[in-house]
Amino acid sequence: MRRVILKSIAALAVAGAFAAPAFAANPVELTFYYPVAVGGPITKTIDGMVADFEKQNPDVKIKAVYAGTYQESIVKALTAFKSGTPPTLAVLLSTDLFTLIDENAIVPIDGLANKPEDKKWIEGFYKGFMENSQTGGKTWGIPFQRSTIVMFWNKNLFKEAGLNPDKAPANWADTITYAKKLTKSDANGNVSQWGLKIPSTGFTYWMFQGLTTPNDTTLMNAAGTKTYFDKPAAVESLQYWVDLSARHKVMPGGVIEWGTTPKDFLEQKAAMVWTTTGNLTNIRANASFPFGVAMLPANKHPGSPTGGGNFYVFNKTSPEQQQAAVKFIRFATEPARAAQWSIATGYVAPRQDAWDTPEMKKYLQDVPAADVAREQMKYGVAELSTHDNQRVTKALNDNLQAALSGTKTPEAALKDAQRESDRILRSWNR
């Protein structure tokens, strides 16, 4: 499948390659930081995309640096920036927006791409994704590796439990009912199959938004200066999450690892899991059973936070490098290429025109589950992002895990998280 995709991507380069000059004496050199630790093996796809761009643009050379997890990637990018050797461009979390602006590490994309056709290009991205890409009237990031949270379920295990294998739980109450029927344990209470797993490491706050969003509550303001962690609806959402293990016994107690959740699903240790759409290709390639993909269960309404990474162009790089970086970003987000990227990885194609391509239409006929994320974008909200975002999210993550581990009540945990967030954000609220 990957070889076919790479050939398809390469085919897009042919026409431009014939028209391009055979060599460039002094090519513009770009360094591209990419977070390799994401759902599914995709470095070959990125390498292919870079190679195709260089064929069309022999006056540009791109060095792709696979920088580790998202958290590791921003640390490396900011360290390089502060030492005077920044990457030219990087894919970093969309939620790193305020941190990168506060460090003066990035430049506005619309300051580099300011022609009418550029404006039209920027306006073509889904508005839900742009909520974490724009602020202060400027566009700072371009959506690329974007996602929402979805539910995967094992159809065979549903059938064994007497459930309709083609129907996922539609709401919170149904989720508990289904999960109870899907949880298996022996006479001593040892569980061999959990009804549900919602991971609580890595992106704990994001999973929490998978509960607060359908419960009609937001966790921050658009300016990134205030948080609302201890709202009653947020407390209710965390209580529901805690009760799945502590009260209903359908999910393991304590902390559930982000990285092993898809593996537990593939090994049939969990009948339902929540994870990123970016795991779709991984699960399709490795599941030995039929599975379904659904929007997250609703409470007051459906909904999910958006997630994933944006392209950013770094400051302290030359104008020639910045323009070449924007040229690569446009290349990577062209409709056919964005469609192929989505097919190769499972991430959500961030523009409607990508979904209108023949490749994507055929893919959706073969894999209807891939359309779930796009449908969920109708109810998508911005992922938690504030100034000093890593400290704010750490305060929330630590307290969420304390509640899930039983060392704090949901109300106390969220009050503590809000108190710490208020302290961190004080300087932005004077």
Query: What are the DSSP calls for 258-289, one per residue?
Result: TTTHHHHHHTTSBSEEEEEGGGHHHHHHH-SS
11-15, 25-29, 59-63: which has the highest mean pLDDT?
59-63
Sign of the CA dihedral with 348 first, then 353, 356, and 359 last: negative
The tokens describing 417, both together, are 């998280």
Angle at which helices 410-424 and 389-405 cross, to 10°: 170
Q: Write down the mean pLDDT value for the chain.
A: 91
**342 & 322 share domain:** yes
What per-residue confidence (pLDDT) applies to 41?
63
Q: What angle do CA 278, 337, 364 make, to 5 degrees?
A: 60
**322 & 407 share domain:** no
Instruction: Quote the number of domains for the chain.
Output: 2
Residue pair 251/198 in contact (Cβ under 8 Å)? The answer is: yes
Q: Domain boundary residue among 363, 381, 399?
A: 381
Residue pair 282/262 in contact (Cβ under 8 Å)? The answer is: yes
Of 32, 36, 31, nearest to 72 (Cα)? 36
**63 & 99 share domain:** yes
pLDDT per position as a tens digit, 8-22:
444 444 444 444 444
Q: How far apart are the first and last CA of the chain?
A: 54
Q: Are strands 89-93 and 304-314 parallel, antiparallel or unpaired?
A: antiparallel
What per-residue confidence (pLDDT) applies to 142?
98
- The separation between CA 349 and the C-alpha centre of its own chain, rounded to angstroms, equals 12
> What span, in angstroms and rounded, lies between the C-alpha atoms of 54 and 219?
42
**120 & 42 share domain:** yes
What per-residue confidence (pLDDT) applies to 37?
56
> What span, in angstroms and rounded, lies between the C-alpha atoms of 237 and 220?
16
Question: Where does 34-171 have alpha helices with state H?
Answer: 43-56, 70-82, 97-102, 109-112, 116-123, 127-130, 155-160
Span 73-98, average pLDDT: 96
What per-residue confidence (pLDDT) applies to 106?
98
**162 & 212 share domain:** yes
pLDDT per position as a tens digit, 377-399:
889 899 999 999 989 999 999 99
- Identify the band that residue 129 occupies on the pLDDT scale cut at 50, 70 and 90: very high
The tokens describing 64, both together, are 């792709």
**82 & 207 share domain:** no
Domain containing 258 equals 148-305+383-428
Which of 3-7, 107-111, 360-364 has the least mean pLDDT? 3-7
**295 & 246 share domain:** yes
**54 & 119 share domain:** yes
Span 342-350, average pLDDT: 88
**323 & 186 share domain:** no
What per-residue confidence (pLDDT) applies to 383?
96
pTM value is 0.85
Of 311, 259, 276, 307, nearest to 92 (Cα)? 311
**128 & 237 share domain:** no
Task: Kindly calculate the radius of gyration of the chain based on its CA atoms and give it in whole angstroms.
Answer: 22
pLDDT per position as a tens digit, 157-167:
999 999 999 99
- Look at residue 71 and give its three-state secondary structure: helix
Q: Which residues, other chains included, contact 343 with Cβ-Cβ below 8 Å and sequence gap of 6+?
A: 5, 281, 359, 360, 363, 370
**99 & 9 share domain:** yes
Of 305, 341, 319, nearest to 52 (Cα)? 341
pLDDT > 60? residue 3: no
Residue pair 140/106 in contact (Cβ under 8 Å)? The answer is: yes
How far is residue 132 from each of residues 46, 150, 379, measured CA to CA in Å? 23, 19, 15
Instruction: Encode burial over 333-345: b for 16+ CB neighbours within 10 A, e otherwise.
Output: bbbbbbbbbbbbb
Q: For the beta carbon of residue 430, count every other beta carbon within 10 angstroms.
A: 4
**259 & 401 share domain:** yes
What per-residue confidence (pLDDT) applies to 29?
97
Question: Could you tell me the CATH number of the domain that includes residue 416?
Answer: 3.40.190.10
Span 251-276, average pLDDT: 95
- Identify the band that residue 278 occupies on the pLDDT scale cut at 50, 70 and 90: confident
> What span, in angstroms and rounded, lies between the C-alpha atoms of 147 and 144?
9
Q: What is the DSSP string of 6-32?
A: HHHHHHHHHHHHHHS-S--SSPEEEEE
- Look at residue 333 and give its three-state secondary structure: coil
